[in-house]
Amino acid sequence: MTYCVAIKLKAGLVFLSDSRTNAGLDQISTFRKMIIYERPGDRFMVLLSAGNLSISQSVREILQVEQIKDADGGEPINIWNAKSMFDAARVLGSAVRHVHQRDGAALKAGGVDFNVSMLFGGQIRGEAMRLFQVYSPGNFIEATAETPYFQIGESKYGKPVLDRVIHADTPLQEAAKCALVSMDSTLKSNLSVGLPLDMVVYEADRLESDRIVHIDEHNSYFQMLRSTWGQKLREVFDSIEDPVWNGDASTAPLMSRSARARTLRKIGSPEEKLL
């Protein structure tokens, strides 16, 4: 299993992935789930992957040479000459379908589902930043101002903090911190996600990035974030009053005396009470 998150803001993009792959409790390995496609001044694109490792690795290899037809009859489109991120995402979808056509039947015969999901985002000169989530059939959806982030893999543990913090106007550094907290929550609750991590922070319109970091257990910032987040959560939890079951008008008792609450109780007959 893995966990990857990508965030699209007005200020830029944030990408974060773990690197754990496991096929059972005694078969745990480390593989990078992130790859960057960059031509400074022209395009900057990041691909994150989750699911079957052999499938995602095949897709990444084929993506380097995959081409689709230009609707206007021009030069075939690949990720290096695509004029828009939408066309680049179409090339990625085509690469996924290529692998499915080549390996899908054999995988099915071996009892293996064709399981891969990807996050693909970046910017090509002449257009705004874009972020897509690509599914196993090769189709995809795009992030919007209302849905500014995508997750793949073991996503449930890291979602609450993203929902509370992230919106289109979130500052880039704050979003990077939030992504790391989201990852820490996942690491805490699921052993199938693990260090080291790969992170990219991209500023809008730069068409390159110098904020690319590999985070392991010795990274001082991540160590500080993990310990501080846990401590502050505990402090906030302790600052909330315990439930009060009965109280006067000055308190907010938890006890409900509504008719709906009374219907939940099943009282036995007098004979049953004597037993």
pLDDT of residue 25 exceeding 60, the answer is no
- Which band of pLDDT confidence, cut at 50, 70 and 90, is reported for residue 262? low
- pTM, two decimal places: 0.91
Categorize the per-residue pLDDT at 145 as very low, low, confident or very high, splitting at 50, 70 and 90. Answer: very high
Instruction: Count CB-CB contacts under 10 A for residue 89.
Output: 26
Q: What are the C-alpha distances in Å from 204 to residues 56, 137, 168, 242, 259? A: 27, 30, 13, 46, 56
DSSP string, 142-192: E--SSS-EEEEES-GGGHHHHHHH--TT--HHHHHHHHHHHHHHHHHH-TT
CA distances 103 to 107, 115, 245, Å, are 6, 12, 61
The domain limits of the chain are 3-234
What pLDDT is attached to residue 248?
65
23 pLDDT tier (thresholds 50, 70, 90): very low
Predicted pLDDT at 175? 98
Predicted local confidence at residue 90, as pLDDT: 98
Instruction: Specify the pLDDT at position 186.
Output: 96
β-partners of residue 117 are 50
Domain 3-234 fold: Glutamine Phosphoribosylpyrophosphate, subunit 1, domain 1 (3.60.20)
Helix axes 85-109, 53-63, angle to 10 degrees: 140
Confidence of residue 104 (pLDDT cuts 50, 70, 90): very high
Please tell me the predicted confidence (pLDDT) of residue 257.
63
Backbone angles phi, psi at 111, to 5 degrees: 80, 25
| pLDDT beyond 80 at 256 | no
* pLDDT band, very low/low/confident/very high, at 246 (cuts 50, 70, 90): confident
**Mean pLDDT on 108-134:** 97
Cβ neighbour number for residue 124 with a 10 Å cutoff: 23
- pLDDT-derived band at 261, boundaries 50, 70, 90: low
Is residue 194 within 8 A of residue 18, CB to CB? The reply is yes
Question: Which has the minimum average pLDDT: 129-133, 143-147, 180-184, 244-248?
Answer: 244-248
Q: What is the mean pLDDT of residues 220-242?
A: 96
Residue 275 has pLDDT above 70, yes or no: no
